[in-house]
Structure 1
Amino acid sequence: MPPVLLSRGLDPLLGVFTGVLAYYLYESHPRNEVPPDERLTALIKWKYTKWRNEREQRLTTGNTDEIDLRALAAEVEEK
């Protein structure tokens, strides 16, 4: 019987590895013919570009919608 800690750590890794391998085989099998623009890599690139553009826009606008915690703390102390 293997140590409990070893199986606790290896089971999730084995599950993730198996899932990634299965999805790779699904996308690369010629019978499925997944178009290049509907593959996981295209989705990841699109999401990353979208996130990067939104982040850049937030950084350039000055984050006027964020709450100033110091000002709130000062208001609480005054009361």
Structure 2
Amino acid sequence: MAKTYLLSRTLDPILGIFTGLLAFHLNETNPRSAPAPGHTLSELIAWKWNENKEMRYARDQEDDNEWERVTREFGVTQEDKK
């Protein structure tokens, strides 16, 4: 069975991506269908990024505290490390 293309083998995916991006942009900016303030994609991505950043920072702090506890337990001092 022969494959059929709308424009060509390479332009069809490009047209699909362009159409999807245009539809997304129109959906985000149209006053009727626009998401509520604080629920646009860029705001949600920024929120999630900051949330993950805080979680990474907290995890790093826990790791540092655990490392200090272990070094104290084995009696390793800063002078011993040098």
What TM-score do the two structures reach when normalised by structure 1?
0.54
Q: Note the C-alpha offset of 1:21.
A: 2.5
Distance 1:50 1:15 in 2: 33
Percent of counterpart pairs with the same letter? 34
Between structures 1 and 2, the one with greater helix share: 1
Distance 1:60 1:15 in 2: 45
Q: Note the C-alpha offset of 1:14.
A: 4.8
Distance 2:50 2:59 in 1: 14
- Cα gap change, 1:48 to 1:30, in 2 (>3 Å): same
Task: Look up the match of 1:22.
Answer: 23
List runs of 5+ in structure 1 lacking aligned partners: 65-79
Task: Look up the match of 2:45.
Answer: 44
Q: Note the C-alpha offset of 1:20.
A: 2.7
Q: How does 1:1-79 map to 2 (within 5 A)?
A: 7=10, 11=13, 14-62=15-63
CA contact (8 A) 2:28 2:34 kept: yes
Distance 2:16 2:61 in 1: 41
- Is the radius of gyration larger for structure 1 or structure 2? 2
What TM-score do the two structures reach when normalised by structure 2?
0.52
Q: How many aligned residue pairs are there?
A: 58
Runs of 4+ off more than 3 Å = 13-18
List runs of 5+ in structure 2 lacking aligned partners: 1-8, 67-82
